[in-house]
Amino acid sequence: MRRERSVLSGLSHGALVIWSITVILPILWTFLSSFKTNTEIFGDPLALPGAIRFDSWGRAWETAHVGQYLLNSVLVVGLGTAGTMLLGSMAAYVLSRFRFRGNRLIYLMFISGMVFPVFLALVPLFFVVKNLGLLDTHTGLILVYIAYSLPFTIFFLAAFFRTLPTSVAEAAMMDGCSETRTFFQIMVPMAKPGLVSITIFNVIGQWNQYLLPIVLLSGGVEDKWVITQGIANISTSAGYQADWPGLFAALSMTIIPVVVVYVVFQRQIQAGLTAGAIK
């Protein structure tokens, strides 16, 4: 048994090392290539840059409008995540703590959104947003982001709310708390690990979303584009302008915020994923 465990442990560690290399090396190569020239990139792609040059970062920020794209993404993802967490947490709390007719059906309808590929709904979604007069607007994209993120949010938080003790909520109700006050002042603080975890997942998922913005912000108004659309445009332009360092600098600006968010909240994410199992 010990030999089998050691073999399995070695294989698992080896797989994790390989996976880490396949993830870290492309990111590192992208970051280093942003300091190179075109000659260095195509001459020896694996070599270190001859000097630290930040001119490509300046071109990406000003000429390629990465700053505007980042600002748009922060606005859309921030409001989209806030709306998702507010509506998702309330819906998950009701579905997990209250028993009423149709409870299970409503829950299954939300969960069915997780197995429905979003690209199958792009055409009707386009016309729904267009008929509402929200096409090519950040408001329409934010509402779609909320609807797109709700199924997994409710699935995750409903399971988490079920693990919380009912005695605390009952004591709050006996002290005169309303259902709304009990939820926001008692249950939400108790569910903080799960809320933080799913918030980070929603931020990363919405930040990296490309298909929905390309359909709902397809009017050609570049000032409203989010970062994924901007990077795609820079990538297309780089093929003609041969400004590959600028492209890699723009990619680095896109990657850094997500990596920082994950590194800062890594412990909270792990705590949220394991809290339900421990309880």
Question: What gap in Å lies between CA 102 and CA 91, rounded to an integer?
Answer: 13
CB 21 within 8 A of CB 227: no
Confidence of residue 277 (pLDDT cuts 50, 70, 90): very low
Question: What gap in Å lies between CA 136 and CA 200, rounded to an integer?
Answer: 26
pLDDT given at position 219: 67
Q: Which residue's entry shows tokens 């505007």?
A: 68
Q: What is the pLDDT of residues 85-135, one digit of tens each?
A: 999 999 999 998 888 888 999 999 998 888 888 888 888 899 999 999 998
Q: Which residues contact 60 (CB under 8 A, 6 or more apart)?
A: 66, 234, 246, 247, 249, 250, 253
pLDDT given at position 269: 65
Question: What gap in Å lies between CA 58 and CA 162, rounded to an integer?
Answer: 50
The token duo for 199 is 């918030």
What does pTM read for this prediction? 0.83
Closest to 214 measured CA to CA, from 135, 146, 114, 139: 135
Look at residue 274 and tell me whether its pLDDT is greater than 70: no
Please state, rounded to an integer, the average pLDDT across all residues of the chain. Answer: 85
Look at residue 272 and tell me whether its pLDDT is greater than 70: no
Mean pLDDT within 54-72: 84
CB 275 within 8 A of CB 192: no
Query: What domains can be seen in the chain, in order of their start residue?
Result: 24-278 (1.10.3720.10)
